[in-house]
Structure 1
């Protein structure tokens, strides 16, 4: 087929008088997104957006240049950001936290898993909204609200994934699986795995493309093994428990048996969680979604990858009929990509692995330790053979893929923050910031693993709890940013605003429980005790609940007020809205 044959011919016009060929990318244009897209523009030649209701509010944080919203490719052309996030999820919630929670407490908590996944669908796509509309990362958006927020998330991100828990746990699994070293000497494999990850990042000139391909390959392999295990272990009978657990809303174990840190980690990792979710918008920008196509990608300076691509721009589009329809189409294709890749993938893989845990370890007590459950109970109970071998392989691939992605998450997010805060004004090259942080972070991980600073599961629980607490403020900030700073036609619709209010309350509730428990158990401050039912909390616990209520009211008021004030300020704004706008 020639290039000319790829171009649309005599496309009919849509109801608004705009031809489909003006909205949707041709097959050849769409295929370019598979390698990620960058469309260089001369910022000096672009008009700066005026301070009117048709454009985002700059609030002194730097203006936006006006450019056309790019044409919209098919879902199959833009699969990538959500696939990376799915790979990042495999070794946390899918194979460790939720299987352990179900094994210890039965399927009665399954409701929290799927509610958590659907909640993260709304969170993640809202995190993408700012990048698609402006080409900026979510950290640049948060910086427009208050300059402290990017640094806050940088610190919490380090607490979440600064310790290489997945590499450590994966190495313990690999040692038990292969016997190449004694299980107690897992750290030797951990150090080697960090070196392998660093080297693999040098496999191509565009860092994002390397990560995407590696994660898609690991993800597909893990999914295939999981499906095979479902048949070889015959866990279909466990699925009969799904309906009751799925509708068991609000059911929680008694306070005596309720490990809030593990449960909050499970909620955060019902998907990716924490600092990882914040990468969704950055990956969307690197892939070239929407206005992100005008932002440069991070190149590997060790590969002699040519001229640096500009990453300094902030963009917006004029609300013409064509751009309105392109926005609506971009939003539709973005949601499809995330739902079909991430949501479906997470639910399918995690449910299969939960069924294995429930059948072979149900009713056991593992102290919340997924590692102990798999390595000391389930796999020995299989008596060897192909099923045990496949289960070892699945666990190792899942944990390795998560560590692989988490290094990318921390380095990419942190490089963006460092560049925006310090590097841009000093003329630093983003590619060198990324490479420097990658190297330092890898060496740090090797040192932590080599000196065995903490046991693998303890590292994972601490990181997961930090992820859950972090999600509370950034859920609130995201919906405030997307309503108060965006024009009417790119704002979220009321259904999504309600979903983000729910997300803020959901993670706020469990964060307060964790904060209260930590103050009591770690610091002996019994006055800050909190309870699941709220009533019966200590005086300081009530103060924590009042603080959570104040955050919720503030979030709801700011976003609702902005949504109402923006109504009717952009002509034909409905042209840009669609399902779950």
Structure 2
């Protein structure tokens, strides 16, 4: 049994969702519900029926008050953070940042530390709304101002239809097998679509698969880095994270500054992945997400339970409920700083050590990258793998990169489809005639079809160009969602569970950081990609 979900008897049926109630300015509504919403209890007179209570947030339907499930132990291994780790331990850590280290030295990594630490804080604040309501952050944005939600609907399409992660992984696979990266990329996307279509519950399958893949990557890269690297490499990698302010002149050129900005966005899960994390929390049954059914694969779409028309709120005036809430906050804090921040940092340290070792084997690699061969960094690190004792290790490196690309694609394709389906189901007129599982499948296969078209006929010049484009566009999405996160958490939530001044200040700084870097690149260099 999923430890984060209550027993089935604790979960209200979807039929308990009352129709729209009069909106009230306070958390508790004491007016009796409409006659048709009064529970039918034979032993109770009509005028003594229990009174329904609501929390009003924005102009949308109020959220009924329901019990908050008890939180599981704080220390755990698996959870929705596995999606962010799978996306965080991706092309930023294994490709983009090692490439920058080869060019500018390990001191450039202080920007990585800033980026991944900000994302850990964002993760905590994204979880606040999702666990308190069972709604996605997109639904929360609609409660503040519907156009904000539609902005992210369009942004997701503009940013995430580009198959950057998979194409980079396919390029690495080409080095091992000789199979053209376009063919491998197309096959990979079709494989992802079939797997998600056949899955009974998409979330459960992905959590298990990604956990195994991440374990292989963390252990494998750490062992090879220990064999290839030196203590000097490790020391410079760690001290480089604290070289605050270091930014060589070359990094401030039109060629490389947009790449640096994109790499900062790729320090951990990039772009809208943090927003999609709220949907993974819901399917995990975290907090009030326990009251919301899970999304099923298309093959099992007919088994999909009816989704409630809105989320739920718990009684924040009840000390017992607030005690449970603090337990959930401890649970997600462990996720953010031990699992997400810790694992992401460990893997990127391993890849940075490998990048530095590669410069001793091939001192001219930085000049090759400057000459336009962006894939040279992967070749150089494969050489450092081989230096561990056998050419087999070089092959292993490319397999690691291919696995990372597949990991990220699994997470991104699911997340994109999940987010678009959530917004469509709740806010597109007539969409509720279809189950949310069928809408999810529609966006999944539309994304696959477009991605195949990009790989075969797209304008981007190879995997590196696709990845750089995706990274820089992600910085824009991240700055925008930090602004929305501030509004949602401080307007729609009850005061006892709103973020404190420190959390708000860090999220505001993140918004300025991401958007400031993007617009500086635009106005100073006239270039964003």
TM score, norm. by length of structure 2: 0.86
Q: CA deviation at 1:386?
A: 2.8
Say if 2:144 and 2:488, in contact at 8 Å, map to a contact too.
yes
For 2:19 and 2:3, locate their aligned partners in 1 and report how far apart those are by CA, in whole Å: 25
Residue 481 (structure 2) aligned to one of 470, 474, 485: 474
Q: Does 1:378 align with 2:381?
A: yes
Instruction: Report what 2:48 is aligned to.
Output: none
Instruction: Report what 1:30 is aligned to.
Output: 3
Q: Aligned pair in 2 of structure 1 residues 30, 189: CA closer, same or farther (>3 Å)?
A: closer
Instruction: Report what 2:95 is aligned to.
Output: 96
For 2:93 and 2:339, locate their aligned partners in 1 and report how far apart those are by CA, in whole Å: 15
Q: Aligned pair in 2 of structure 1 residues 502, 394: CA closer, same or farther (>3 Å)?
A: same
Residue 490 (structure 1) aligned to one of 469, 484, 497: 497
Residue 467 (structure 2) aligned to one of 437, 460, 478: 460
Say if 2:69 and 2:290, in contact at 8 Å, map to a contact too.
yes
Q: Does 1:244 align with 2:239?
A: yes
Query: Which SS does the other structure have where 2:305 is aligned?
Result: coil
Instruction: Report what 1:325 is aligned to.
Output: 323
Q: Does 1:278 align with 2:278?
A: no
Q: Aligned pair in 2 of structure 1 residues 304, 497: CA closer, same or farther (>3 Å)?
A: closer
Q: CA deviation at 1:65?
A: 0.6
Counterparts of residues 263-412 of structure 1 (less than 5 Å) = 263-303=260-300, 306-318=303-315, 319-361=317-359, 364-365=366-367, 366-367=369-370, 372-380=375-383, 382=386, 385-412=391-418
More deviation, 312-321/48-57 = 48-57
Q: Aligned pair in 2 of structure 1 residues 305, 338: CA closer, same or farther (>3 Å)?
A: farther
Q: CA deviation at 1:432?
A: 0.5
Q: CA deviation at 1:403?
A: 1.5
Q: Does 1:444 align with 2:440?
A: no
Instruction: Report what 1:213 is aligned to.
Output: 208
Instruction: Report what 1:564 is aligned to.
Output: none
Question: Which sections of structure 2, spanning at least 5 residues, go unmatched?
Answer: 29-53
Q: CA deviation at 1:480?
A: 2.0
More deviation, 363-372/322-331 = 363-372
Q: CA deviation at 1:283?
A: 0.7
Q: Aligned pair in 2 of structure 1 residues 460, 238: CA closer, same or farther (>3 Å)?
A: same
Q: CA deviation at 1:81?
A: 1.4
1:195-247 Cα shifts (integer Å, max 9, x gaps) = 11111213421111112112111111111211121123134321111353222
Say if 1:225 and 1:390, in contact at 8 Å, map to a contact too.
no
Say if 2:521 and 2:527, in contact at 8 Å, map to a contact too.
no
Counterparts of residues 30-179 of structure 1 (less than 5 Å) = 30=3, 40=13, 42-44=15-17, 50-52=24-26, 57-75=56-74, 79-179=78-178
Q: CA deviation at 1:63?
A: 0.8
Q: CA deviation at 1:41?
A: 5.0
Instruction: Report what 1:8 is aligned to.
Output: none
Q: CA deviation at 1:45?
A: 6.3
Counterparts of residues 551-566 of structure 1 (less than 5 Å) = none
Q: How many residues align?
A: 490
More deviation, 333-342/70-79 = 70-79
Query: Which SS does the other structure have where 1:298 is aligned?
Result: coil
Q: Aligned pair in 2 of structure 1 residues 517, 370: CA closer, same or farther (>3 Å)?
A: farther
Q: CA deviation at 1:367?
A: 4.1
Question: Which sections of structure 1, spanning at least 5 residues, go unmatched?
Answer: 1-27, 524-581
Q: CA deviation at 1:59?
A: 2.3
For 1:73 and 1:102, locate their aligned partners in 2 and report how far apart those are by CA, in whole Å: 40
Say if 1:40 and 1:295, in contact at 8 Å, map to a contact too.
no
Q: CA deviation at 1:134?
A: 1.0
Query: Which SS does the other structure have where 2:105 is aligned?
Result: helix
Say if 1:96 and 1:370, in contact at 8 Å, map to a contact too.
no
1:17-37 Cα shifts (integer Å, max 9, x gaps) = xxxxxxxxxxx77375899x9
1:548-576 Cα shifts (integer Å, max 9, x gaps) = xxxxxxxxxxxxxxxxxxxxxxxxxxxxx
Q: Aligned pair in 2 of structure 1 residues 517, 367: CA closer, same or farther (>3 Å)?
A: farther
For 2:301 and 2:307, locate their aligned partners in 1 and report how far apart those are by CA, in whole Å: 17
Say if 2:65 and 2:314, in contact at 8 Å, map to a contact too.
yes
Q: CA deviation at 1:341?
A: 1.5
1:500-536 Cα shifts (integer Å, max 9, x gaps) = 1221222132122233256x2489xxxxxxxxxxxxx
For 1:388 and 1:79, locate their aligned partners in 2 and report how far apart those are by CA, in whole Å: 31
For 1:34 and 1:110, locate their aligned partners in 2 and report how far apart those are by CA, in whole Å: 46
Instruction: Report what 1:553 is aligned to.
Output: none
- The CA RMSD measured in Å over matched residues stands at 2.8
1:321-361 Cα shifts (integer Å, max 9, x gaps) = 11111111111111112222111010000111011112213
More deviation, 423-432/508-517 = 423-432
For 2:218 and 2:306, locate their aligned partners in 1 and report how far apart those are by CA, in whole Å: 35
TM score, norm. by length of structure 1: 0.78
1:222-279 Cα shifts (integer Å, max 9, x gaps) = 1121112112313432111135322221222223487222111111111011111111
1:305-332 Cα shifts (integer Å, max 9, x gaps) = 6242424232111121111111111111
For 1:80 and 1:262, locate their aligned partners in 2 and report how far apart those are by CA, in whole Å: 32
Say if 2:5 and 2:284, in contact at 8 Å, map to a contact too.
no
For 1:235 and 1:159, locate their aligned partners in 2 and report how far apart those are by CA, in whole Å: 43
Say if 1:87 and 1:215, in contact at 8 Å, map to a contact too.
yes
